[in-house]
Amino acid sequence: MEIETNLDTKKQSPKLLGMFTSPSEQFERIKQNPKIWVPLIIISILYAIGMTLMALSMDAEALIGEGIPEDQAEIILVVTKVTMMVMGIFSPIIGILISSAIQLVIAKIANSPVSFKQLFSMNTYIMIIGAVGLILNMAVSYAIGGSPEIYTTSLGGLLNQKTIVYNSIEVFKLWGVVLTAIGLHKTGRFSKGLAWTIAIAFFLISIGFGLLGTLIQGAPKL
């Protein structure tokens, strides 16, 4: 019976929506049959939609409040919106590529037999969680006229605080951390301890980069 189950798993392709309902099963399928192009295109489209909603939620008054001259605010706003929409297409691809490359290096050190294609596929499927979270939060911000910098599903949204740390403690981001740990264990064949360590480290590093970017802008909102 176990042999039949394994053979059946090998024949099946992983499903993006399955990451919400049966992630462990999808990770096993990715290990046997990693898919990249179709899910990557879907993820890029979803992120582009989310970033478009974020762009539409922005207004010139917010830029003026940050010290940008009023006569330049509208032009900068248009450029910012276009840039964000384009970023929505390419940012998930770049993020997946970097994450997969780092994980592959760790896999080599840990003597894991996982391939780059398996890791790239795994990270692509995990991104569906972030994509849905982005669209949901930006749709809410656009509908109520709220700040796109505050995620409704984050601690920042609960406390109405626009800080990097509070906005990083967010339902979909934490969900992604959990799935990354499970994926590295199931697909990457890392030990549970190493898988969780890497997933949490990636999360903390992302917060660190966010804080660094804020400090560079001269507005240390922690």
More confidently predicted of 142 and 19: 19
More confidently predicted of 218 and 53: 53
* Cα dihedral: 92, 95, 97, 102 (round 10): -160
pLDDT over 80 (residue 65): no
Among the ranges given (4-18, 31-45, 79-93, 105-119), the one the predictor scored with the smallest mean pLDDT: 4-18
Please give the angle made by the CA atoms of 29, 121 and 135, to the nearest 5 degrees: 105
pLDDT over 50 (residue 1): no
Residue 83 in tokens: 């840039």
pLDDT over 80 (residue 222): no
pLDDT over 50 (residue 220): no
* Cα dihedral: 7, 28, 15, 140 (round 10): 160
Domain map (residue ranges) of the chain: 22-216
What is the 3-state secondary structure of 73-137? HHHHHHHHHHHHHHHHHHHHHHHHHHHHHHHHHHHHHCCCCCCHHHHHHHHHHHHHHHHHHHHHH
pLDDT at 6: 52
- The one-letter amino acid code at 166 reads Y
Q: How many CB atoms lie within 10 A of CB 35?
A: 18
pTM, two decimal places:
0.88
What does the pLDDT look like over 136-191, one tens digit per residue?
Answer: 999 999 898 888 888 999 998 888 887 888 888 999 999 999 999 999 999 999 99
Element (H, E) at 26: helix 23-32
**Among residues of the chain, what percentage have pLDDT more than 90?**
60
| DSSP code string of 29-74 | HHHHS---HHHHHHHHHHHHHHHHHHHHT--HHHHHHTT--HHHHH
What does the pLDDT look like over 69-112, one tens digit per residue?
Answer: 666 767 877 888 888 888 888 999 999 999 999 999 999 999 99
The alpha carbon dihedral of 28, 203, 135, 99 has a sign of: negative
pLDDT at 71: 67
